[in-house]
Structure 1
């Protein structure tokens, strides 16, 4: 019988200390060193999703980590995904498919025991298939009110026979207190499982930190395995909205940059759709949550949402809907993706209350369509062609005929079915990736003046030629010259993995990490 894979686990003193990115770094380093490695996170709470090749939904971070180590992402890598839908209510996604909506108490009291079995089974599958599993914890292992039913931190580490490295974020302050405090709350058995610390996001002269490191090691009897300097512009996806407020912080619009404003919906999802815009030198990307932040945008984007109807009501209540309609009437460029696309229609219908507690509301009315929410969620990878006017390629005149501009790839995650009330100009023709059915179907809508577009396709801006064509259409409207494709999002993402791995390997004692893994597997 084949020996089960060795394991190593990163846990944090708090959320957003960098566990996801450091796990991705270890996945790439382990791969570089010749290991057959896979990531694992038992339960993830995130609205940033990743669609597997077989059309299942997992946390974006685990998909990204699988990409880091060149393995195919599966639901075993994240068997339980919680997608916050309302205050205290989340959609529970089990092995990539929606199970049901549960409030926090119901989930803990009625489902966690079942979830525990699912987690153990998935972990076993991975340990039978791979040689090394890089496990990411969730939040903090020191949440005393959750420890008895924990399936994400120390109890999971025990099931996985995993040595634990504790990650702390020095950028938020109190790093030594957070480490010592976490250890104090753990049981003696749990403390023994912690084999060392990583101090993450350090800025400054590390020699000034050394007295604190010496004190910590003497106090705990455990080594600091690395002090990882803050790495700017990592270029990889964020796990969830915890880092959204600081992702684009105090940036200033430069000369000849397009000002692109993304509406920061209360339940925004898959905001990783806009990461490729951060690498475009002629783009200034920002998030807008109220009218005071509106400014004078060249493009407005309505992103995805976990609760389309409630977030549309948010736009209505705070006057943002009227501002969007005024902006479009004045010739502004508007892009709606997934939920944002659904909002552009005439009506949103939810007769069985799958989406919210509202049965019907009016949409923005920009496209002749209505969307009805159904029980079945569509999660598919798609590929196809962009059907756009030639002027979107930067030409100043065009015949008015549609052209196929380039191939596109992306993925869909939505519960609504959209029906058109009259003929429209579709934006894309797509088919399912790797599916036996090779037939194409239409997706999205492009307005007659080419300035308003909607689509169900997440990741649409990952496509370099299409992204540049769309930006050039906006540039042309401002009287600016078109630009050539200057950045390849996929190439830059691969370079980001390599840069991250090089950075972490430089500052982390990998010899000691491998020693910890080896001792833990005995």
Structure 2
């Protein structure tokens, strides 16, 4: 059994979509795959077969992996209710409404829940694709972290760091994110991904060379900007398509997942990514 984690330099860098694509790629290659995001903050959720709530992003990743959505894939869901508070759901059921400081204190008690839930998935799948939240460089939130580097350490997972170049400042975002991490955290980052690029990718060659020399971490590929009917679900994205397709739209969803995952497969060094997984027990 193996795992790999996708983290981002910012919210909406493309973590959800990249995780979805890897779920589909690994699944198509014959592996038993599950998505996992320990904690997701989102207003967009759907229901599992036992009528528990799960974020739309993990539900779509489940479809990409050929699985039914289940709460183990997203054990903690935070649904923003006010500017400072959220409804807290544990395994799909509401625990209560908490202000940020109250939740950060409560979060300390959730580490073992996250660990045991992840261990369940890990023991029953060939590969678990773990998605982070926001950015691991949010150093004010590092203590008791259970969703970024704290999660990577629990899973002992290699990390791929993705950035959105369409926003600008991608090289600074990658460099700054890595350098704000502790040395043992930096060592977990095994590859960098430049996402949402428009234009001639060769124009990035000199910048990539400098970045790789400074960080000692390879850039695994440049993923072109791709319009899809699948929302890059994130609490920062407003006004985009974010509904879960459900059974009625499953065929079109599958086609979109296939299309985007092939773009990712063609763009990234998948041989290198597979090498990070080590031996997979089929």
- Same topology, TM > 0.5: yes
Deviating beyond 4 angstroms after TM superposition, the runs of 4 or more aligned structure 1 residues are none
Which aligned pairs between 1:136-147 and structure 2 lie closer than 5 A?
136-147=131-142
Q: Distance in 2 between matches of 1:106 and 1:128?
A: 33
Does the CA-based 8 Å contact 1:38-1:134 persist in structure 2?
A: yes
Considering only aligned residues, what root-mean-square deviation do their CA atoms show, in Å? 1.7
CA–CA separation in structure 2 for the residues paired with 1:8 and 1:238 = 19
Aligned ranges 1:85-484 → 2 under 5 Å: 85-109=81-105, 111-232=106-227, 234-245=228-239, 247=240, 271-272=242-243, 463=248
Q: Compare relative contact order (CA 8 Å, sep 6+) and give the higher one, 1 or 2.
A: 2
| Residues 196 and 223 in structure 2, CA contact (< 8 A), matched pair in contact too | yes
Post-superposition offset of 1:114:
1.6
Aligned equivalents of 1:193 and 1:160: distance in 2? 11
- Superposition TM-score, scaled by structure 2 size: 0.96
Structure 1 distance, partners of 2:199, 2:56, is 31
> How many pairs were matched up?
281
Instruction: Measure, in 2, the Cα distance between the counterparts of 1:62 and 1:520.
Output: 23
Shift, 1:128, TM fit? 1.2
Unaligned runs of 5+ in 2: none
Give the structure 2 partner of residue 369 of structure 1.
none
Inter-partner Cα distance in structure 2 for 1:225 and 1:79:
30
How far does residue 243 in structure 1 lie from its aligned partner after superposition?
A: 2.5
CA distance in 1, matches of 2:235, 2:47: 18
Aligned to 1:268: none
Distance 2:232 2:197 in 1: 19
Report the secondary structure of 1:148's partner residue: coil
**Distance in 2 of aligned mates of 1:519 and 1:215:** 32
- Once residues 490 and 120 of structure 1 are traced to their aligned partners in structure 2, the CA distance between those partners, rounded to angstroms, is 31
Contact 1:201 1:228 in 2 (8 A): yes
Is the aligned partner of 1:41 residue 2:65?
no
Distance 2:23 2:108 in 1: 30
Measure how far apart 1:172 and its partner are.
0.5
Q: Which structure carries more helix by proportion?
A: 2
TM-fit CA distance, 1:239: 1.8
SS of corresponding position for 1:86 = coil
1:31 aligned partner? 27
If the length of structure 1 is used for normalisation, what is the TM-score? 0.52
CA contact (8 A) 1:42 1:119 kept: yes
Aligned mates of 2:9, 2:122 — CA distance in 1: 26
Taking the aligned partners of 2:224 and 2:110, their CA distance within structure 1 comes to 37
Q: Are the counterparts in 2 of residues 162 and 520 from structure 1 also a CA contact under 8 Å?
A: no
